[in-house]
């Protein structure tokens, strides 16, 4: 796979999973609203996909070693990957009750992180279990922190 596609796919898919999971879990614990979680996912799929794509675009430009075509390929692949990966989390929200959908989303996200990590480790000829454990640990930290931040924010509604 060419460098720009690899950059866009790796960054977009990982960011799509982590950002969307964090948002889903935080909004769920803070609001318990299916509509809020759904709206958040759609917002992430659009706004954050553009943000990440622009970030990759500027990062690749700043390296001053890629052609304009390579930069745009990385930009577009980042946007499309982040957009599509984020949208996959809408499916459980539409199919199931919110609590079940959040659990399904977490399982889906951790599965994707595992697959991405294994693929990356094989490309780098390193043992997959180390990369998988490291990336799953970081993912779980995000899930736990955003859950408690959501609880904390929800506490403000009880004090006003």
pLDDT in tens, 25-70: 999 999 999 999 999 999 999 999 999 999 999 998 998 888 888 8
Per-residue b/e over 36-66, b at no fewer than 16 CB within 10 Å? bbbebbeebbeebbebbbeebbebbeeeeeb
Quick one: pLDDT at residue 4? 79
Please give the tally of structural domains in the chain. 1
State the residue for tokens 């977009």.
12
Which range marks the domain in which residue 42 is found?
A: 3-159
Euclidean distance between CA atoms 148 and 144, whole angstroms: 6
Round to whole Å and give the CA distance between 160 and 154: 11
Q: How would residue 11 be classed by pLDDT, with cut points 50, 70 and 90? A: confident
pLDDT at 160 over 70: no
Q: Which tens digit of pLDDT belongs to each residue from 91-114? A: 999 999 999 999 999 999 999 999
């Amino acid at each position: 796979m060419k460098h720009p596609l690899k950059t866009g796919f790796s960054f977009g898919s990982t960011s799509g999973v982590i950002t969307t999971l964090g948002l889903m879990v935080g909004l769920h614990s803070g609001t318990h609203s299916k509509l809020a979680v759904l709206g958040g996912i759609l917002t992430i799929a659009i706004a954050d996909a553009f943000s990440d794509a622009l970030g990759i675009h500027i990062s690749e430009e700043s390296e001053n070693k890629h052609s304009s075509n390579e930069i745009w390929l990385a930009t577009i692949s980042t946007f499309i990957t982040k957009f599509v990966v984020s949208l996959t989390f809408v499916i459980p929200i539409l199919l199931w009750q919110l609590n079940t959908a959040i659990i399904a989303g977490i399982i889906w996200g951790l599965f994707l992180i595992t697959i991405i990590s294994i693929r990356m480790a094989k490309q780098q000829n390193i043992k997959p279990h180390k990369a998988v454990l490291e990336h799953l640990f970081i993912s779980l930290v995000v899930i736990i922190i955003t859950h408690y931040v959501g609880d904390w924010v929800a506490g403000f509604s009880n004090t006003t």
